[in-house]
Amino acid sequence: METTLTKRTISSSHTIPMDVFLDIVRILLDNAITWRVEGINEKENSLLIQVSIQPDLLRHRKAMENMQTILSDYGYYLNGSPNSDVEENEDYPS
């Protein structure tokens, strides 16, 4: 029988803005993923968390994909898409 001590895990660190923290924690808790806070950045209003997943479990891989999608979408929300200035200027020629 395989115990939690013999299961392979992968750990990674992620910066989580407080605006999406509850969404991320919900994903982690719903999928029984181990996580801990590594640091707090008050200036950026974010946390650095370490997440440990078992890559052999499909639900853990899917949860990480969901988490990274939320973080990516939030980044686009704050900063706009990389080509947003070019797209806006095409509609209104000088």
Q: Where are the domains positioned within the chain? A: 10-80
pLDDT of residue 80: 82
pLDDT of residue 14: 96
Q: How far apart are CA 42 and CA 37, in angstroms?
A: 14
Domain 10-80 -> CATH class: alpha beta
pLDDT of residue 86: 44
pLDDT of residue 48: 97
Instruction: Give the strand order in the sheet containing 34-41.
Output: 10-17, 46-53, 34-41
Q: How far apart are CA 34 and CA 12, in angstroms?
A: 11
Whole-model pTM: value is 0.75
pLDDT of residue 7: 83
- In three-state secondary structure terms, 51 is strand
User: Which residues neighbour 85 within 8 Å (Cβ) at sequence distance 6 or greater?
Assistant: none
Residues of the chain with pLDDT under 50: 1, 85-94
